[in-house]
Chains A and B, each alone.
Chain A
Amino acid sequence: MSDEILKVENLDVHFRSSASIVKAVNGVNISLKKKETLGIVGESGSGKSVTATALMRLLPKGIGSIPNGKITFNGKDILSLSDKEMRDVRGNDIAMIFQDPMTSLNPVFTVGDQIEEAVRTHQQISKKEAKLKAIEMLKVVGIPEPEKRVKMYPHEFSGGMRQRVMIAIALSCNPKLLIADEPTTALDVTVQAQILELMKSLQEKNDTSIIMITHDLGVVWEMCDKVIVMYAGNTVESGKVKTIYDNPLHPYTWGLLESQITKNTLNGNKLPAIPGSPPDLRNPIRGCNFADRCPYAKEICKTTKPEPIEVEEGHIVSCHFQTKSNRLERKELVYIE
C-alpha cells in the first residue's frame, strides 16, 4: 500500500513506577492511509492517549518506554530516529492537539507568538513572514479579526476559540498526520460540533490524516473511517467504522454501545453500565483483560489470552467466542442500580 502514512505494529508501552511496571499498552496495531481518519475509543486508562503520546515519542523520560513494536511513519522508522530527527517530525510531520484548550496554550505568550514559534521551528522564514502566517492561520481556523486577535493572550479567548488556536498551531506546518487527543471533551456541545466540522474541512483541504482519540462514540461515527476499540491496554476490536457500527462483535464494544444515552434512557430508564472496573495493569493478567467484567466469560477467558482474529475483511476481534465459525448471542442490557 503506497499511500499508507502510518503503520504501527505490535506496540507495547510500559511505565516504570517505584515498585512495579505498568503495561499500559500491549500489542497495538494501526494502519492509516493518507486522508484517512482513525478513531481510538475506550474508557479512561485504556491506553488511548498513551498510544498517541508514544507515536510522538513524548512519553515521560525515564518512566515510559517502548520495549516492543515498530512505528513506521511515511517510510521512516520513528523509533530509530535520533532526538534531533524526531524533533523535526514533531509539529512538522505529526502534530497534536490536546483535550483541554484551557491549559494547553501557554498563558504568558500571545497566541501569535505561539503560532509563529511553531512555524519558525520548522521553516526558515523571517519574523515578519511568520507573523503573516499566524494571522493567516487564525483566519483559516475561523477566528474573527485575526490581525487584532494575534496580539492577544490565551486568557482573552473562550474555550472553543482556544481549541481553534491549538488547531491553528498544529496545522501551521501542514502536518501529514494530526493526532487529536479528545479535542472536544472539554467543550460545549455546540462548540464541539463546530470544532469537528473545522477539522473535517481542513482535512479535506490539506489531505491530512487524523487519529482521533475519544470516548465519545458519536464523534467516531461522525468523523472516522476506521476505529480501534481499546480496553486495558489491548485492542479488543478494530475495523471500518461502518462494520463495527453495524456488526460489533466484542462484548466490550457491546457494553460501550449500550452505555450511550438513547431514547430509552431519556424515558426515565437507567443508563446501562458495564459493572466493575478495569484491571490493575501492574499485575500480570493471564487471560482476557476483560474477563472479570464480561458477562459471557467462561473458564478459558481467565486462563488464555484471546488472539486477534480477522472475522471478516478488515474486522479484527480478540475474543475466544467470536470467531469465523462461532458467534455469541447478545444478552439483555445490564442496568446498574
Chain B
Amino acid sequence: MGKYILKRLVDLLPTIFVVAIIVFVITRLIPGDPAAVMLGPQASVEDIQELRDDLGLNEPLHTQFFQYIGDLAQGDFGVSLTYNQPVISLIMDRFPNTLILAISALVIALLIGIPAGIISASKQNSVMDYTVMVISLIGVSIPIFWLGVMLVLYFSVNLGWFPATGMGTMDEGFITYIKHLVLPSITLATIPMATFARITRSSMLEVISQDYIKTARAKGLKEFFVIGKHAFKNALTPILTVLGMQVSALLGGAVLTETIFSWPGMGRLIVDAIDKRDFVVVQGTVLFIAIIFVLVNLLIDVLYKIVNPRVNYSSGKGGAGK
C-alpha cells in the first residue's frame, strides 16, 4: 500500500506538468492586457509598454514559459500583479476559509444525504422513498445563486437569525463564527447532499437484491445490521467515487456561494484575478486546485482498497480495478 501511494505521488508530477502547460496557455489566451487593466483607461501607450517590460510580458512566450516552470520547480508560484504579494500566500490566506466552508457543507451533505438514500432504498416505492427522491431531484436541479439569495432573504432579512454575508472570526465568539457559517454551508451542501442521496439509493438497491443479503438475514441478524453493515459496505464504492468528485469541487472554491455570501475563499480569489487579468494568480490558483484534485483522487483510490478487499493495486497503472 505504501509503495502504491509513493508510486502514485510520483505519477502526479507529469500530470501537474501538463496542467501547468494548459494553464499557462489558457491564461495567455484571456483577452485583455493586464498592464492596461492595472494602469486604468487614462494610461498612455508608453506607460503600458513600460509596465509590460517590467512584468516580462514582452518576452517571447517560450521564455516566459520556461521562467514560469523554473520558478514552479522551486515551489515559487509567482507574485501577484495586482496584490503585490506572493501567490502562494494569497492562496494560503484564502484556502483555510474555503476548507472550513467545504468541510461543513460536506458534513451536512453526508449526514443527511447518505441516511436518506439508505432509508429510501430499504423502503423502496414507499411514500418515504418518493419524498426523498423528489426532494433530491429538486436539490440537484435548484440554481445555487437563487437558493442562496432565498435563504438570505428568509433567514437573514425576515427572521434575522443568521448574518447575510461575510465570515466571522473566532475573536467574535464561537457562536457568531458558526452563525456566519450556517447559510453558506447549507447553500453549498444542497447539490452534494442530493447527489449523495441519489447515488446511495441506487447503489443500495443494487446491493440489497444480492444473495449475501439473504444470507445475512438467514443468520438471524437484525434488519439494521443487514442494511447498515452488510449492504452499506458493499454499496460504498460508487458513493466514494461521487464523494471524490464532490470534495474536489468543494475544495476548488465555490464561486457562486462565496460570491453570494462574500466569503473570502478560493473561488472569489480566482474570479477577482480573472477580472483583473492577474494571470499569475489565475495560474497559481488553478494549478493549486489541480494538485488538490489529484490528491483527493489518490485518497479516494486508497479508500476503495480499504472498503473493497477485491480491489487490486499490484497490477496495472494504479486506479481502482474491480
Contacts and interface: CB of A to CB of B under 8 A. Distances in A.
Interface of A: 56, 58, 87-92, 95-96, 98, 100, 103-109, 117-118, 121-122, 153, 155, 166, 169
A121 B220 contact: yes
B221 A117 contact: yes
Contacts of A103: 210-212
A90 B220 CA distance: 5
Interface in B56-101: none
B13 interface: no
Given A100-B211, A108-B233, A108-B234, A58 B220 contact: no
Contacts of B217: 58, 90
B219 interface: yes
A55 to B, nearest CB: 11
A154 B310 CA distance: 9
Contact of A105 (B215, B308, B309): B215
B222 interface: yes
A83 to B, nearest CB: 8
A87 B221 contact: yes
B220 A98 contact: no
B271 interface: no
A91 B310 CA distance: 27
Contact of A153 (B211, B212, B221, B309): B309
Contacts of B220: 87-92, 118, 121-122
Contacts of A95: 218
Contacts of B222: 87
A107 B221 contact: no
A106 B218 contact: no
Contacts of B308: 107-108
Contacts of A58: 214, 217-218
Interface string B213-238: 01111111110000000100110000
Contacts of A169: 215, 219
Closest 8 CB pairs of A and B: A91-B220, A90-B220, A91-B219, A103-B211, A106-B212, A104-B211, A96-B218, A87-B220
B221 A106 contact: no
Contacts of A100: 211
28 contacts: A58-B217, A89-B220, A90-B218, A91-B218, A91-B219, A96-B215, A98-B211, A98-B215, A100-B211, A103-B211, A103-B212, A104-B212, A104-B214, A104-B215, A106-B212, A106-B215, A106-B216, A106-B230, A107-B308, A108-B234, A108-B309, A109-B230, A117-B221, A118-B219, A118-B220, A153-B309, A155-B310, A169-B219
Most-contacted residue by chain A among B214, B217, B220 (CB, 10 A) = B220
Interface string B273-316: 00000000000000000000000000000000001111000000
Contacts, number: 67
Contacts of B230: 106, 109
Interface string B230-253: 100110000000000000000000
B265 to A, nearest CB: 37
Contacts of B219: 90-91, 117-118, 121, 169
Nearest to B233: A108
Nearest to B232: A108
Contacts of A153: 309-310
Nearest to B221: A121
Looking at B212, B217, B230, B233, the one whose CB has the most chain A CB atoms below 10 A away is: B212
B211 to A, nearest CB: 4
A113 to B, nearest CB: 10
A122 B307 CA distance: 27
B309 to A, nearest CB: 5
B130 to A, nearest CB: 15
Contacts of B233: 106, 108-109
Nearest to B209: A60
A91 B309 CA distance: 26
Nearest to B212: A106
B302 to A, nearest CB: 16
Contacts of A96: 215, 218
